[in-house]
Amino acid sequence: MRITDALVEYRNPASVVNPEYLSHGTLQCYSFARSRPFYEDFLGLQCVRHSSASMALRCGLRFHVVCIEAGDELQPASIDNHWGFDLSSVEEVDRVWRAAQELKDKYGIRQIFDAVKRHGVYGFYLEDFDHNWWEFQFYDGVQHDDMFDFGDRYQGSALANEVRSAGDDPVP
């Protein structure tokens, strides 16, 4: 996919805020020195230290994640608050899963869930050293457009419960 294909023109004239785009989110780490190799060498993210207390991470587009070095004040995230990567195939998901298993000790990966089909995609979650959660998935389609094209289809459900059950989602 080309970057320009990922840009969606959407405006809600009735909203209070009229943003250009969603530009960033945040996560915490214990130490930049400990976590940066995981972000760059395992996740393949571009990292730039832009202040003494924060570092920006990105993978294409204008959106980036601001990583805050929190030390002992770090607040662990839950699996419900995760960051997702779309991968190119089922085989690529499996390759990354195997690599995570092999490199678990090197990068301090705490947990790696099995790769399964859930919510219409094949993928898995892992928890990094800093208690941040990452999802690696393959969807045979244009999920991000499809997701909004479908419109509202469900009323609430907790991801943590879905992951614990690890059942296949019958919805395409």
The mean per-residue pLDDT over the stretch 57-64 comes to 86
Is 55 in a helix, a strand, or coil?
strand
β-partners of residue 50 are none
β-partners of residue 83 are 134
| CATH superfamily for domain 3-165 | 2,3-Dihydroxybiphenyl 1,2-Dioxygenase, domain 1 (3.10.180.10)
Give me 143's structure tokens. Answer: 């999920």
| pLDDT at 2 > cutoff 60 | no
| pLDDT at 151 > cutoff 90 | no
pLDDT at 128 (0 to 100): 98
pLDDT tens digit sequence for 79-102: 999 999 999 999 999 999 999 999
Give me 25's structure tokens. Answer: 């989110």
The mean per-residue pLDDT over the stretch 28-34 comes to 97
| pLDDT at 171 > cutoff 50 | no
DSSP string of 106-171, one letter each residue: HHT--EEPPPEEETTEEEEEEE-TTS-EEEEEE-SS-HHHHHHHH--------HHHHHHHTPPP--
pLDDT at 170 (0 to 100): 40
| pLDDT at 123 > cutoff 70 | yes
pLDDT at 48 (0 to 100): 96
* Minimum mean pLDDT range among 22-26, 34-38, 120-124, 148-152: 148-152
When comparing pLDDT for 68 and 168, which is higher? 68
Do 79 and 125 contact (CB within 8 A), yes or no?
A: yes
b/e map of 96-107 (b: 16 or more CB within 10 Å)? Answer: bbeebeeeeeeb
| Predicted TM-score of the model (pTM) | 0.81
Average pLDDT of the chain is 85
User: Where are the chain's structural domains?
Assistant: 3-165
